[in-house]
Structure 1
Amino acid sequence: MIKQNRVIGDFLEIKLPNGKLAYARVLDKASVAIYNVINKKALDISEVMKHDMLFTVAVYKDVIVDGRWRKIGNRPLEEGLKKLPMKFIQDELSPDFFELYNPNNGDIIPAKKEDCIGLERASVWEAENVEERIVDHFNGKSNIWVEKMKLK
């Protein structure tokens, strides 16, 4: 794998375990947005950009800089991708205690369970778990990691 820098706006090609390709976009604060598309052959950036986002998660830096997800180009972020979505925190030891995490500025505020519905849990994902999540989505199957991190 070729070393590469992590640059906001980069498009990344993800080789999936099923042999298909998926695409991500580098966002601010360790986050990536995964596009709602997979294909057998490589797509160019303009084709990838026609698709909506499937989900947004934080990933470990090595996923990008070590070249596991290959950089295929860069474009300035569209306005809708500049603000990261809120995340929720649920205390494992006190599962009735909730907080909202704003990845844009690091603020954490108390919350009610209903405030957390529909949000991703604040976490950092490994490459293989994101790849598995993408494959499961396109196979119409629930994903073990999404299920483990669901609001309880």
Structure 2
Amino acid sequence: MASNFELGKVVEIRLPDNSFSYGLVLESPLVAFSNRTFKSRQTQFSDLFNDSIFIVWVMKYALGKKGWPKVGKLNSHKLFGRSHTFYKFDSINKSFSTYCNGIETPANLEDCVKLECAAVWDSLHVEDRIFANSKGEVCKWSKSLSAEEQV
């Protein structure tokens, strides 16, 4: 039985306007998503995740039987094996930190502005983000999780 978070798995995401976008599993629960959308299904995936991507943690059920279907697999990609840094915000102490490879380091707002929040995304929220980006809009989920919104 294949793991939901099989390294290199490419998943297809159907958006509300019936366009398609794609995700690339990096490691559990990390997935890279293309901000590009297509009117038809794609079959060549090697260049989809080279630019215009975002990388977040996703819920396990977003992938697999009841989630986004696997449509391909990449055996190698420059994103494999790389470290990815996220930010955390402690709402009690009102302090920021960065999180990478299990290590949390104190930080300030400026260190965190361009980082993704260390949060696990629901599949519908990811779809909303890709769809909003495709229309040139700001996604309400991205905005609510941005470092600037935490202060």
The match for 2:118 is 122
AA partner of residue 57 (structure 1): V
Which consecutive unaligned segments of at least 5 residues does structure 1 have? none
- Pick closer, same or farther for the CA change 1:68–1:122 going to 2, 3 Å: same
- Which deviates more from structure 2 when the two are superposed, residues 85-94 or residues 50-59? 50-59
Query: Alignment partner of 1:148: what SS?
Result: helix
Kindly state the Cα deviation for residue 80 of structure 1 after the two structures are TM-superposed.
Answer: 3.2
Question: What's the CA shift string for 1:12-42, capped at 9, x where partnerless?
Answer: 1101122111011001130110113211110
3-state SS, counterpart of residue 68 of structure 1: coil
| Alpha-carbon distance, 1:82 to partner | 2.4
- 1:49 is paired with a residue whose SS is coil
Q: How many corresponding residue pairs?
A: 147
Distance 1:125 1:106 in 2: 19
Aligned with 2:131 (options 89, 110, 135): 135
CA distance in structure 1 between the aligned counterparts of 2:49 and 2:68, rounded to whole angstroms: 20
SS for the counterpart of 1:27 is strand
1:74 maps to what in 2? 73
CA distance in 1, matches of 2:123, 2:58: 7
Query: Which whole-Å CA distance do the structure 1 matches of 2:143 and 2:49 have between them?
Result: 29
Distance 1:11 1:137 in 2: 20
* Structure 2 gap ranges (5+): none
Q: Cα distance, 1:118 vs. partner?
A: 0.5
Instruction: State the secondary structure of the residue aligned to 1:135.
Output: helix
Displacement of 1:117? 2.2
RMSD: 2.0
Match of 1:88 in 2: 87
**Map of 1:3-152 to 2, 5 A cutoff?**
5-6=3-4, 7-46=6-45, 49=48, 52-95=51-94, 97-102=95-100, 105-152=101-148
Equivalent-residue separation in structure 2 for 1:52 and 1:29 (angstroms): 21
**Cα distance in 2 between the residues matched to 1:31 and 1:78:** 14
* SS across alignment from 1:79: coil
Distance 2:32 2:87 in 1: 17
State the identity %.
28
Q: Which moved more, 1:35-44 or 1:121-130?
A: 35-44
Q: What's the offset of the Cα at 1:5?
A: 3.0
Partner amino acid, structure 1, of 2:145: M
1:150 Cα shift? 1.0
* TM-score normalised by structure 2 residue count: 0.87
> What secondary structure sits across from 1:14 in the alignment?
strand
